[in-house]
A and B are shown apart, each in its own frame.
Chain A
Amino acid sequence: MYRILSKTKLNNNVEEMVIHAPFVARRCEPGQFIILRVDAEGERIPLTIAEYDRDQGTVSIIYQVVGYTTRRLSEKNAGDSIEDFVGPLGLATELHKHARVIGIGGGVGAAPLYPQLKKLSDMGVAVDLILGARSKDLILLEEKFSKFCKNIYITTDDGSYGTKGLVTDKLKELVARGEKYDEVIAIGPLVMMKFVSRLTKELNLKTSVSLNPVMVDGTGMCGGCRVTVGGQTKFVCVDGPDFDGHQVDYDELLRRQGMYKEEEAHSCKIGLRSV
């Protein structure tokens, strides 16, 4: 069992938990993820590591309450425990000592982006950031990013905060006005990563994305997370989760993400064994 040390509501739909998980904390690196099961009858879901503290043996996860399992997780509070918490899984992000990098975080994608940008900044890289979401209350971690990001640009779909528009509009604008970046790191909804990658390909800007497909074990055993990258099948859990954004077949992945749509709708509708 893994104890929940704290739980914080980041907005209406997104929460952060700090979990005591010493085996994960002592070796994890930015970009890696964990798989958890809330209780003994639960399903396994992957979540990216948002922060870690090796001395305390703790790992933070940030999740959006969207489906059956995240709802069950959200019912837990500080002092409670979760059944299983395994990791670190996947490969650590290859962070290069560039001069200047821009991160793009869409919605809850800001969470896995945070440790990557933080580490780049620690390595001496100048880091800019675009945070995008549907509306103001869905913009996450702005304050934490502001501690080390040189410039933060906010975009919202409804214009309730920052510039009205998409993250791609902002990136286009920045590049048009002559800002130079060595790499873009984009993490967010698949559709966002697809369009960022399409744009940066035109702009000839190296782009890294982090994928979060359906998985079961997270150790390469099931192959459910396969994705086509550069024409080859990769397992996101062991070959990723970070990939060259220009090589990913997003349409295939979007389709694969929808494989259990009917079942997900079913378990949500019937409020599956909710307590």
Chain B
Amino acid sequence: MAPNMSPKKVPIPEQTPEARVKNFNEVALGYTPEQAKEEATRCLQCKARFCVAGCPVNVKIPEFIKKVSEGDFDEAYRVLVSENCLPAICGRVCPQETQCEILCVRGKKGEPVAIGRLERFVADHAMEHMPQEIPEIKKNGIRVAVAGGGPAGLTCAGELARLGYEVTIFEALHALGGVLMYGIPEFRLPKKLVAKEIATVMALGVKIEKNVIIGKSVTVDDLFAEGFQAVFVGCGAGLPAFMKIEGENLNGVYSANEFLTRTNLMKAYDFPNSPTPVKTGKRVAVVGGGNVAMDAARTAKRLGAEEVYIVYRRSEAELPARAEEVHHAKEEGVIFQLLRNPVKVLGKDGWVTGLECVEMELGEPDESGRRRPVVKKGSNFNFPVETVIIAIGGTPNPLIRQTTPGLEVQKWGGIIVDEATMKTSKDGVYAGGDIVTGAATVILAMGAGKKAAHAIHEALQKKNSAVPG
């Protein structure tokens, strides 16, 4: 079949901005089988396979796309899931534009192949039409513990289970998924789908202990004493940072974590059917420019806020959020206050009434290579809001480093690992995801989990074959 030489991706149907700001349903609706096949024929099946190298979990991209073009969606899924245990999730939240798609040869003249949309299509198709195929696994009886049931932990657990290990995930919350459940909103990543995809990992024989906090309920050393031979730590960068400005403890100021956790995990959007409330004023300012800030702003819109602002201290070019998220936020009417930085939350009778900001301009590049924002003197101004959401990142969970002697950490609290194996300074302990890198992406965490799983396998095979019996 001759390749489809259209320079443009087959567009993905979406809810209109007017309709979607009134609901929590998913924004993008996904390809039809015909659209998927049409897009799949845009792939040239080139020998270079740059896309695969760009994928943190090395999905066999041309192979699965070939199967899609042939209309063999079941086989496409088998190819996909052999390298990636959470494809429906990755198809939605991976920054393909900076990983696989940016390397696609089709991108040189026109748009790259819509790898993310195809991944999503194949995963959704399998969920709806394919019975789960559980590979035959020969158990080796070796126990491995995974601290944290987010993307890193789930991936590590899934990989190890396939290799025959008896894996137990210890999760602090009442639901698995980490940021997939509490952070990323329903309209970007439906929770039913997250639950289903997690269930496919559990079906490999992974055990789960919910409501157990490593570092509180049980320590890493306890786990070794109980017979676990390796521990993977993937418990995230969950502690929210605040601005340390006046008025930040007023009623109406939230961390993005709290605002999103209340809304997503605790379903506050369904209050009073769900007993957890969340407060959203008519006017909401979200401080920060990353994906989490976009999620918070778009969530506030859906909770009924009339005016929602993104307040970010650099310019549009430096916004760390995915272009797609910024685009969606703009379509939904989120107002961007760029080159602005909050200096004070204004309040009356204990409640937020406004935000005082200063204007910024970009100076010389800083350590991050981005131009440093500098305050314009005397540019203070304020505007009325009832809710302020701080979305400026977080720091690693300290519970494990505080209770695990021998575990070396960075000054800022991240666990130090050997990047090739994700091995920490403590024997038998591996780590990956945001607790190593600081706030990053789902797919990087998954890549780290996968890498650690293979390093654990290698180390434990060596160890267990060295000891007779």
Contact = CB atoms under 8 A, between A and B. Distances in A.
B134 interface: no
Nearest to A37: B174
B351 to A, nearest CB: 8
A259 B397 CA distance: 27
A84 B258 contact: no
Interface in B251-274: 251-252, 254-255, 257-258, 261-262, 266-267, 271-274
A222 interface: yes
A163 B211 CA distance: 44
A44 B210 contact: no
Interface residues of B, number: 41
Q: How large is the interface on A (under 10, 10 to 19, 20 to 34, 35 or more residues)?
A: 35 or more
Given A84-B174, A259-B279, A219 B397 contact: yes
A216 B266 contact: yes
A258 B251 contact: yes
Contact of A226 (B173, B249, B252, B257): B249
Contact of B261 (A221, A226, A235): A221
B7 interface: no
B172 interface: yes
Contact of B172 (A217, A235, A252, A272): A217
Contacts of A84: 174, 210-211
A222 B240 contact: yes
A75 to B, nearest CB: 14
B279 A220 contact: no
A68 B261 CA distance: 20
A contact face: mostly helix, strand, loop, or mixed: mixed
Nearest to A266: B272
Contacts of B213: 86-87, 89, 219
A221 B216 contact: no
B191 to A, nearest CB: 13
A144 interface: no
A219 B218 contact: no
Interface in B188-212: 209-212
Interface centre among B213, B218, B398 (most CB of A within 10 A): B213
Given A217-B172, A260-B279, A263-B279, 6 more contacts: A23-B218, A43-B266, A85-B211, A86-B173, A89-B216, A260-B277
Q: Which 10 A-B pairs have the closest CB atoms?
A: A222-B258, A86-B211, A263-B277, A255-B350, A221-B238, A223-B255, A23-B217, A84-B174, A43-B275, A43-B276
Interface of B: 172-174, 182, 209-213, 216-218, 238-240, 242, 244, 248-249, 251-252, 254-255, 257-258, 261-262, 266-267, 271-277, 279, 350, 397-399
Interface of A: 23-24, 27, 37, 41-44, 68-69, 83-89, 216-217, 219-224, 226-228, 233, 235, 238, 252, 255-256, 258-260, 263-264, 266-267, 270, 272-273
